[in-house]
Structure 1
Amino acid sequence: MAPANALMLSHALVARLTVPIHFNPYHIYCLRNVHVTWDGAVFHNLRLFGPSIVHRRFRSRFQDTLLLRQWLGEKVRVTGTAIAVCHNQWSTENYYHWLIDSLPRLLALRSAYPGIKLLLPQVSDIHPVPEFITTSARLLGFPNQLPLNSQQILNAHSVVMPTLTATSLTQRPELVRQVQQELLAALGMEPTQPFRRIYAARAAGFLRNLRNEPEVEEWLRQEGFEKVYFEELSLLEQVRLMRETEVLLAVHGANMTNMLFLPSTSKVIEIHNKEYGDPCYLRLASCLELEFYICPCTGVDPRLGNQSDVVVDMTLLQAITNLALTKKSKCANFS
């Protein structure tokens, strides 16, 4: 699906955003006598199990002293029952990668291994597993959970690990929609008439900030947008807010995953680094059949690529937002 405002964008940007996606089969592995790190990397003796890491380039993270911790680190031993691992190095704390990468893996796992104990990532022994992880796993049928922190190594007789159901930063539409429907049903969310305009602001210290944010916020306030920090809300609070939202506007980032909970008539506007931004949220909107607008912006530091702060062209943002606000029906796809 192309952005709803594709005619306002360059042909080169639209082409980069709409590269076709191909899906490979996914699998469930049953592994015996293995060690597992808190972030989902699986070892047998000194051999790393490739499908347990995000990319081949991550292999260098799991060498040397980390391998020795299989014998020297704090062990958590599990025998007599299987443990499921459905996360990797990107989904330990990241809202997008947990909801969109890991939850479909839970659906794949559930039909074959209902009730299995689920390993969950815990950054440290001080901080708990993020609430959105524990809650969403429970809602999808996995209340039996085993937290593992970054100082521990799991030693398990039997580990069950579904692979990613789609390459990271892409999504299988049918599984994304199933995750959406099951979470909304489990939380008792009824259809609503959306009325709120939400600006998802990025918390201090995060990447991809708006260098001219005061100017942007002042104009959005005049247009009736509410500024929200999703990081301050529980999963239930985020879902409730999205069910009331007619327009979600955000800088490219994990907060945009909350479009998963928007009504089907809602619209999404992404402030997007035109040189480096990934189209994962356009793809997600396509899975959900949501009207999606791109506001291309300029990064202030090309060395940082997609992690750079950006400057918003106010004239362009106003034109795109006004188009989204005034359009009464879903826009035809441009392809």
Structure 2
Amino acid sequence: MDTVDIQNLHRVLVADVPSPAFQLAPPRVLNPSHIPPHILDAMRPGWFTGAYPAGSVRVTKLFDVYVTMEGLVFTQDKKLVQQSIAQHTPEECAQGLAQIREAEQTQTVKVVGPSSLLLRKRGEQNYGHWMVELLPKLWLAEEHLPLCSLVVPRVSGNFARVVRDSVAFSTAFLPLFHDMGLQDVAFFKELVVVDGLTNHGVYMSPLVFSRTQNMVDRVPGAQLCKLYLTRRNRGRTVRDEESLMAFLQEQGFLCVDPAELTLLEQIRLFKHAECVVGVMGAAMTNIMFCRKGTRVINLAPGTMPDTFFYFIAGLRELDYYEIRGKMCTESESWDAPFEIEHDHLAHVLEVAFSGVGL
């Protein structure tokens, strides 16, 4: 398959936005021995880079391009734009090209008019990816050009409401939504793309939080609380979670499932949290709404190669810890149940509230 760098296309560079330099210390991790060596190697660029130089985020307008799969962009002559590849596998890229050719043969390609902003990427069905990696692209783009429509993933239920509410709550205009599923193919006369904002697991620009505090400030906070975020009835759960929840409730924690809350309810709940404990997953994205210094304890299976929440915590200046758990069965899946010892969690809670090192 032929690929092409966006710099080599007929395009208009709308804006080159400076992204500030920053530094992050490595995370404090209990039980790092549970992390397999190849998983740790995958996380090293995120955990141990330390000093991140200033960069730039580019807002670019492309002409006459296709979009399919999870945000893959192809030129009119079927070359894949390199900057649209975001954790897509080679097989997924090939499938995207095949879908375009099939749609042309069946004449099912939808043609979309001017000034559409692409808000799609690999993993677009995830709340965290939307709030941190996609929505902030809109914040940057709308400062530099008028937009007619937003190209968004086709989602349903509470997540669909979050997508609409987050746009309405953080921007000043009412765009048209052009929602797309995985199999859809659309041809855009003008497509605005934003690149350089994130590289999942490796880099996150401070610009992703350019309007986060403004959102927080607009919502009245709930009373001071300590939160445990449950993933009940989903993958990647702590074994015997009921016992863990009972232990935390004894420590004064409120157990909640953020997936059942509206966006504004989530902001309100996390705004004044003094400590957040939860299994590594989409719900933990809400730590972005916490105030500086909030204690965050992320529970994760040793097999999960994720630095996403570490970046959020670092850029939002939170007091971040991870406890890595042993898998309950011989599995390399990060969605399988894992163990968290109560005394390990009690130790990290004591450290977090006393300021003593791990």
Deviation by residue 1:105-153 (Cα, 9 ceiling, x = unmatched) = 2233122224442112114xx8697122222223332520223232543
Please point out which of 70, 92, 99 is paired with 1:39.
Answer: 70
Task: Describe the SS at the equivalent of 2:198.
Answer: coil
Runs of 4+ more than 6 Å apart: 11-15, 126-129
Please point out which of 313, 321, 326 is paired with 2:349.
Answer: 321
**Partner of residue 250, structure 2:** 222
Higher mean alpha-carbon deviation, 17-26 vs 158-167, is at 17-26
Structure with higher strand content? 2
Please point out which of 77, 94, 99 is paired with 1:60.
Answer: 94
Deviation at 1:193, TM superposition (A): 8.2
User: Is the 8 Å Cα contact of residues 4 and 333 (structure 1) preserved in structure 2?
Assistant: no
Deviation at 1:258, TM superposition (A): 0.2
**Partner of residue 18, structure 2:** none
Please point out which of 135, 139, 164 is paired with 2:169.
Answer: 139
Alignment partners' CA distance in 2, 1:3 and 1:9 = 15
Deviation by residue 1:54-75 (Cα, 9 ceiling, x = unmatched) = 1352423424245312452644
User: Is the 8 Å Cα contact of residues 110 and 187 (structure 2) preserved in structure 1?
Assistant: yes
User: Cα RMSD over matched residues?
Assistant: 3.0
Deviation at 1:44, TM superposition (A): 2.7
**Partner of residue 20, structure 1:** 49
Amino acid at match of 1:97: H
Q: Percent identity?
A: 21
TM-score by length of 2: 0.78
User: Is the 8 Å Cα contact of residues 103 and 137 (structure 1) preserved in structure 2?
Assistant: yes
Alignment partners' CA distance in 1, 2:148 and 2:161 = 20
Q: How many residues align?
A: 321
Higher mean alpha-carbon deviation, 243-252 vs 194-203, is at 194-203
Deviation at 1:222, TM superposition (A): 1.3
- Mark the runs of 5 or more structure 1 residues left unpaired by the alignment: none
Higher mean alpha-carbon deviation, 224-233 vs 274-283, is at 274-283
**Partner of residue 280, structure 1:** 308
Alignment partners' CA distance in 2, 1:127 and 1:272 = 27
- Mark the runs of 5 or more structure 2 residues left unpaired by the alignment: 1-23
Deviation by residue 1:17-76 (Cα, 9 ceiling, x = unmatched) = 732165654323322122223632222343322322313524234242453124526443
**Partner of residue 169, structure 1:** 201
User: Is the 8 Å Cα contact of residues 299 and 311 (structure 1) preserved in structure 2?
Assistant: yes
TM-score by length of 1: 0.83
Matching of residue 308 in structure 1 with residue 340 in structure 2: no
Task: Describe the SS at the equivalent of 2:122.
Answer: coil
Task: Describe the SS at the equivalent of 1:250.
Answer: strand
**Partner of residue 258, structure 1:** 286
Alignment partners' CA distance in 1, 2:179 and 2:28 = 45
Deviation at 1:96, TM superposition (A): 1.0
